[in-house]
């Protein structure tokens, strides 16, 4: 916590409508007063600027989405008139994350042909190619040369309207090596549920019994420090089984619960639900 002695008094003038919105964030606990609210907002903006890049994993075969994925890669499956992965790109752009590294593999040429360098979407896209499937961690080794600071990473088949500024600010405040965004679901039978001690992730429970533990699961959105790559074995590797357990054992893995839209589009049933309910990036 920052001491009062390290602060300086500042007088500012705000529009009444902004002041009213600012006051709505004050709860007396997490946000103590107006001054604290302003400090939090400025801190989030400045800290989020430290993260300029995002890696999007778009190399999987999408076997559960066949026959659609016989002719197109899963990230290109349309939703609300756009490829799935474009919604992730637009989320990044909303928070001024404009340097995108896309990891492609299966039918990756169709992704590259569609998005090109990303300039028409207001971003800069660079590609790394998986010659063979590398899982959810292996592609980071291919992207390592592009990663010179903390970065975001997204699973290419999830949709979310998560506030990336808040996620990045949380990661910075915790001095985390890796932060996983966590979302709550009613049915955890298909997911691993995070076990938390405070904000630290101490493990995951697969298929927990009804009423056991929380219902917070990995949302497929992360903030990572470049040193995470040192934890990745060569070849195909998974964040969930090869990397996160090591980080958790060292107390370097944190969880950020968030409320908002979240859809996993990995199965036809989940995809249909997203088509009906996804509201887009506002």
What's the pLDDT score for residue 45?
59
Do you know the residue count of the chain? 282
- Residue-wise pLDDT for 16-60, tens only, equals 887 888 888 888 776 788 777 776 666 665 554 578 899 999 988
Can you give the pLDDT at residue 147? Answer: 93
Output the DSSP codes for 19-62. HHHHHTT--SSSS-SHHHHHHHHHHHHHHHTT--EEEEEE----
Query: The CATH number of 51-277 is which of 3.40.50.720, 3.40.605.10, 3.90.550.10, 3.40.50.300?
Result: 3.90.550.10
Please check whether residue 255 is in contact with residue 248, taking contact to mean a CB–CB distance below 8 angstroms: no
* Residues of the chain scoring pLDDT < 70: 1-7, 30, 39-49, 188-190, 207-214
Closest CA to 272 of 65, 53, 57, 52: 65
């Amino acid at each position: 916590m920052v001491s009062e002695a390290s602060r300086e008094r500042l007088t500012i003038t705000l529009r009444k409508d902004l002041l009213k919105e600012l006051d709505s964030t004050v709860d007396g606990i997490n946000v103590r007063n107006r001054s604290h609210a302003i400090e939090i907002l400025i801190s989030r903006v400045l800290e989020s600027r430290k993260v300029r890049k995002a890696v999007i994993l778009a190399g999987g075969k999408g076997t559960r989405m066949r026959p659609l994925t016989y002719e197109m890669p899963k990230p290109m499956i349309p939703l609300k008139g756009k490829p799935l992965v474009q919604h992730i790109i637009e989320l990044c752009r909303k928070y001024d994350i404009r340097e995108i590294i896309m990891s492609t593999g299966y039918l990756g040429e169709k992704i590259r042909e569609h998005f090109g360098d990303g300039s028409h979407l207001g971003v800069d896209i660079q590609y790394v190619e998986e010659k063979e499937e590398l899982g959810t961690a292996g592609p980071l080794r291919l992207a390592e040369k592009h990663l010179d600071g903390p970065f975001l990473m997204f699973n290419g088949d999830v949709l979310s309207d998560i506030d990336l500024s808040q996620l990045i600010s949380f990661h910075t405040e915790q001095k985390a090596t890796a932060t996983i965004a966590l979302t709550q679901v009613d049915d955890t039978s298909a997911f691993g549920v995070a076990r938390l001690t405070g904000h630290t992730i101490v493990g995951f429970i697969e298929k927990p019994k009804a009423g056991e533990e929380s219902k917070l699961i990995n949302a497929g959105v992360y903030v990572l420090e470049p040193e995470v790559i040192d934890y990745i074995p060569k070849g195909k590797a998974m964040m969930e089984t090869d990397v996160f357990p090591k980080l958790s054992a060292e107390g370097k893995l944190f969880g950020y619960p968030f409320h908002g839209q979240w859809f996993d589009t990995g199965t036809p049933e989940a995809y249909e639900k997203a088509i009906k309910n996804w509201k887009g990036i506002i």
